Amino acid sequence: MRAVRYHGNRDVRVDDIAEPECRPGFVKIAPEWCGICGSDVHEYLVGPETIPAPGAPHPITGETLPVVLGHEYAGTVVEVGDGVDGVNVGDRVAVEPIIRDNDCPSCLAGHYNLCPQLGFHGLSGYGGGLAEFSVVPGYMVHVLPDEVPTDAAALIEPLAVGWHAAKMAELRDGDSVLIIGAGPIGLVTLLAVKLMGAGEVVVVELSSARKAKAAELGADLVLDPAHDDVAAVLAERFGQGVDVAFDAGGNAATIALALSSVRPKGRVVNIALWEHPVEFDMFSMLFKESNLTASCAYCNDHGEVIDALATGRIDVTPLITGRITFEDVVTGGIEQLIDNRDAHVKILVHP
Amino acid sequence: MRAVRYHGNRDVRVDDIAEPECRPGFVKIAPEWCGICGSDVHEYLVGPETIPAPGAPHPITGETLPVVLGHEYAGTVVEVGDGVDGVNVGDRVAVEPIIRDNDCPSCLAGHYNLCPQLGFHGLSGYGGGLAEFSVVPGYMVHVLPDEVPTDAAALIEPLAVGWHAAKMAELRDGDSVLIIGAGPIGLVTLLAVKLMGAGEVVVVELSSARKAKAAELGADLVLDPAHDDVAAVLAERFGQGVDVAFDAGGNAATIALALSSVRPKGRVVNIALWEHPVEFDMFSMLFKESNLTASCAYCNDHGEVIDALATGRIDVTPLITGRITFEDVVTGGIEQLIDNRDAHVKILVHP
C-alpha cells in the first residue's frame, strides 16, 4: 500500500509498504482525511526529535524511523479484531493517537496523556494516518455520528488539544480570556473557550492572516503587539486583569505577558511547546497568587469534542485552508506550512 | 517613648519618639513580645527595599524612613478608639500587620494580601511593634484566648504565612509533601502541613542546625543535597513523585527540584521571595500537567492559627531561640540572625 513516511530531516517520501494486518484488540481503518500537524512540520525541519531516531527506538513501540506519519485523521473501518466492542465494519471513525502503556502508572490511572513514554500513533511507530490503511488498538477509535463529516473529523485531534486546555483553565461562565498566539492551537483554544462560556476573549497575534482568522472565529478583540500597547489596552478594558490567559507562544515574552495580564488569583495555562528554558520572574506570580499550569495534548476529551461538532456548536470549516493528496504532502503540504504559514491553519491530506 | 527605628542600610537605632495617640477606629497597644523577621534582616543588609526610602513615600502611609520596626507582635490593649467592637482595655492581642486600602479592589474583595500597594505596619510606616506603644486600625487586632501566651502569640504572624501556604496547596489528607528549605518559613509550613493532615513530609536543607530543627518539628525524613541523592531517594520512596512541593528557597535549583519532584498533576507552591528572575523549564510542568502557584503572606488565616495554638495542636516553643530587649536588637538580634543564622529560628524582643 502507499504510505507517507518520515525518513529523517527534510526527508519525507511516499513509499510502497506492506499493508498492516488486523489482529485481536485492534481495528483496521482506511483513512480518508488526515491533517498535517505543526509537530510534523517541526520534525521535518529540526527532527528527528519526537520521532525515534536510528539506535533510539521508542520505548513502547520499539520502532525507529522510517515511520508512517499522520496522527490527525478519520476514515472508515474495514476490519474489526476479536474483542473490540462498539465498532463495526463500515463505521466512520476518528483516531485518538496517544499510545497507552499497560505498565505505566499514569496510563493505568487514566492520565494517558501524562505517560512518561508519551508516544503517538503516526509519530512514534505503529503506523499512521497518512497511509491507505492503518491498524490501531480499539481504545484509539471513536465512532462518528452521521452529523460529523469525515473531513471535519480530521480536526477532532487538534480541537481536543484546545478543549483540554480550556478545561485545564477551569473556565467559569463569563470569564475574560486572553489567548497569546493565534496559530492552530491558539485558534482551537479560542473555539473551545467560546463554547465553554467565556466572556470577552482577546487574542494577541503578530501575523495579519492569523489576526483575521481569530476575528473570523469569534475573538472579541485582536491586538497586535507591533502596533498596540497590549498592557494598556488590557488594563483599560479589564482593570485588574483577565481571569484566564493562555500562552500559545512559548517564549519569555509571551509567558511574561500572560502572567502580567491576569487578575489577582487569575489562571495562566501554557499550551505551547517551549524550545528552551526561559527567564521567569516569580514576583509576577507572588503578589497576585496567580496560578500557572500546562496543558498536555488531551485526555478523555474526544467524546465531548465530537458531541460539540455533532450538535453544530463548533464549526471547523474555517480552519481547513487546503486539501491535497499524498503526492503533494511535501511541496503542497509541509513546505506550504513553512513558507506560507500565515495563510494556512490546517491542510488536509486524502490518499 | 522608646522605639526601634530603621534609619537606613545597617542603621537601626533605639530612639525616643512621641507616643502615638489613639483615635476613632484604632486600638492602642503596649507590645510585649515582637519577633525579628527575615525581612527586617533583609532591609538591614540590602535595604531600604520594602521600607520606603526618602523621596519615595509608601503610597498608603505617605511615610518614609525612619520607620518603627516590628510586625510580628502581641501585647496588651491600653486604649480603644470609638467604633471598635469586640476589643477591650486589658485584652491581650496579636497584630495582623497588613495595611488595607479602601480604594483597592483586592482589599475590598477581601484579598488584602494582594493589594498592589501591599504595606505592613512595622515596615511601611504607621508605627510598629518594636515600641513601647503602637496604634493600629481595629481590623489588625486579634484578641487572644487565655490558652495562648503572649510570647507564643508573637509567632502567629509567621505561622500564618505557613498556614496560608498550606491552604494554597489545597492539601488533602495523607498528601505527601516536600519542603525545600528549613528556614523560619519552611519550618512554619512544616508545622502547618502536619496539622492539616499531610502524610509523609520530607524536608530538604543544607544547614545541620536547621536539619535538626526540622526533625524536631516532625519531618519524617530530612535530606541534605550535599550528601543525599535527593531525586533518587524521592523516586524510591514516592514512585511518580510527591503530591505537593513547597519552594522556600527561591532560586533556580530549588524551583527545579520542586517541579521535578511532584507527581503527575502534582502541586508546587512557592513561598520564597526571589532575588531575581531565574531560568525556568516549562517542559518540567508540561508532561506532568503540574500546577505552580505562589503564596503571599496571609489572608483570613490568623483566626485559624490562634485556634490551633489555643487547642494545643501546634507548639511554637521550639521556634523561639532567643529573647532580648530593645537595646540588644542589633547586636543580639539582627546581627545574630546574620552571623549565626543556623542557630536561630525566631528571636523575640521585649521592651
Q: How far is CA A102 from the centre of its chain?
A: 24
pLDDT at A275: 77
What span, in angstroms and rounded, lies between the C-alpha atoms of A188 and A194?
10
**Is the Cβ of A250 closer than 8 Å to some Cβ of chain B?**
yes
Asked if the model's pLDDT at residue B45 lies above 80, the reply is: yes
Taking only the tens place, the pLDDT of each residue in A61-92 is 999 999 999 999 999 999 999 999 999 999 99
**pLDDT, mean of residues B46-57:** 94
Instruction: Write out chain A residues lying below 8 Å of B250, CB-based.
Output: 282
A264 and B239 in contact by Cβ < 8 A? no
Which are the contacts of B229, defined by CB distance < 8 A and separation ≥ 6? none
Classified as helix, coil or strand, B78 is strand
Q: In terms of Cα–Cα distance, which of A15, A120, A109, A12 is closest to A60?
A: A120
Overall average pLDDT of the B182-207 stretch: 96
Report chain A residues whose CB lies below 8 A from the CB of B274.
281-283, 286
User: Which positions ≥6 away from A331 have C-beta within 8 Å?
Assistant: none
B280 touching chain A per CB within 8 A: yes
Return the residue in B289, B291, B296, B298 with the most chain A beta carbons within 10 A, the one to mutate for interface testing.
B289
d(CA A40, CA B269): 36
CA distance B42 to chain A (A): 17
The reply to whether residue A289 touches residue B289, judged by beta carbons under 8 angstroms, is no
Our CA-based measurement puts residue A166 at a distance from the nearest CA of chain B, in whole angstroms, of 13
Q: How many CB pairs under 8 A join A and B?
A: 110
Q: What's the mean per-residue pLDDT of chain B?
A: 96
Q: How confident is the model at residue B57 (pLDDT cuts 50, 70, 90)?
A: very high
Measured between CA atoms, the residue of chain A closest to residue B266 is A293
CA–CA separation, B192 and B314 (whole Å): 8
pLDDT of residue B349: 98
Considering only alpha carbons, which residue of chain A is nearest residue B276? A281
CB contact under 8 A, B113 and A289: yes
Residue of A nearest to B290 (CA): A293
Q: Does A106 touch chain B (CB under 8 A)?
A: yes
> Is the predicted pLDDT of residue A129 greater than 80, yes or no?
yes
Which residue in B168, B277, B296 is closest to A287 by CB distance?
A: B296
Taking the Cβ of residue A282 and every Cβ of chain B, the question of whether any pair is shorter than 8 Å is answered with yes
pLDDT(B204) > 90: yes
Cβ-nearest to B280 among A118, A277, A283: A277
| Minimal-distance CA residue of chain A relative to B298 | A289
Over the stretch B89-129, which tens digit does the pLDDT of each residue have? Answer: 999 999 999 999 989 999 999 999 999 999 999 999 999 99
Q: How confident is the model at residue A341 (pLDDT cuts 50, 70, 90)?
A: confident
Contact state of B282 with A278 under an 8 Å Cβ cutoff: yes
Q: What is the DSSP string of B114-177?
A: G-TT-EETTTSSS--SSBS-EEEEGGGEEEPPTTS-HHHHTTHHHHHHHHHHHHHTT--TT--E
Region B137-147: mean pLDDT is: 98
Its sign, for the CA torsion B125, B126, B129, B132, is positive
Check residue B275 and give its pLDDT: 77
pLDDT tens digits, residue range B255-297? 999 999 999 999 999 999 887 888 888 988 999 999 999 999 9
Surface of A (15-74) touching B: CB under 8 A: none
* Closest-CA residue of chain A to B169: A291
Mutation for testing the A interface, residue in B170, B286, B298 having most A CBs under 10 Å: B286
Could you give the CA distance from residue B93 to residue B34 in angstroms, rounded to a whole number? 12
In chain B, the residue whose alpha carbon lies closest to the alpha carbon of A239 is: B105
Give the list of residues 6+ apart from residue B10 with CB closer than 8 angstroms, or none.
B44, B45
Please state, for a pLDDT cut of 90, what percent of chain B lies above it: 93
What is the predicted pLDDT for the residue at A308? 97
CA–CA dist B188, B164 (Å, integer): 10
pLDDT at A300: 97
Q: State how far the Cα of A194 lies from the Cα of B70, in Å rounded to an integer.
A: 50
Please provide the average confidence, as pLDDT, over all residues in chain A: 96
Cβ of residue B273 closer than 8 Å to a chain A Cβ: yes
**Residues A240, B295: C-beta atoms closer than 8 Å:** no
pLDDT tens by residue, A139-161 = 999 999 999 999 999 999 999 99
Q: Extract the C-alpha cell encoding B72.
A: 510580628
What distance in Å separates residue B33's CA from the closest CA in chain A?
29
Residues in B closer than 8 angstroms to A111, CB to CB, are 264-265, 289
User: In terms of Cα–Cα distance, which of B266, B208, B260, B215 is closest to B234?
Assistant: B260
**What is the predicted pLDDT for the residue at B129?**
98
The share of chain B scoring above pLDDT 70, in percent, equals 100
Inter-chain contact A114–B264, Cβ cutoff 8 Å? yes
Q: Please name the member of B250, B289, B295 whose beta carbon is closest to the beta carbon of A294.
A: B289
**Mean pLDDT, residues B292-314 taken together:** 97
List CB contacts (< 8 A) between A114 and chain B.
264-265, 287-289
B68: pLDDT strictly greater than 80: yes
Determine whether the interchain pair A290/B294 forms a contact, defined as Cβ–Cβ distance below 8 Å: yes
Query: Which pLDDT score is estimated for A185?
Result: 94
Q: What count of other Cβ atoms lies within 10 Å of the Cβ of residue B116? A: 14
Place of cell 487574542: A203
A281 in contact with chain B, both atoms CB, cutoff 8 A: yes
Q: Which residue has the cell 502611609?
A: B61
**Mean pLDDT across the stretch B207-236?**
95
**B296: which chain A residues are within 8 Å (Cβ-Cβ)?**
286-289
Q: Nearest residue on chain B to A164, judged by CA atoms?
A: B289
- B283 in reach of chain A (CB within 8 A): yes
For residue B85, the one-letter residue type is: D
State how far residue A271 is from chain B, nearest Cα, in angstroms: 8
pLDDT of residue B189: 97
The three-point CA angle A45-A49-A50 to 5° equals 115
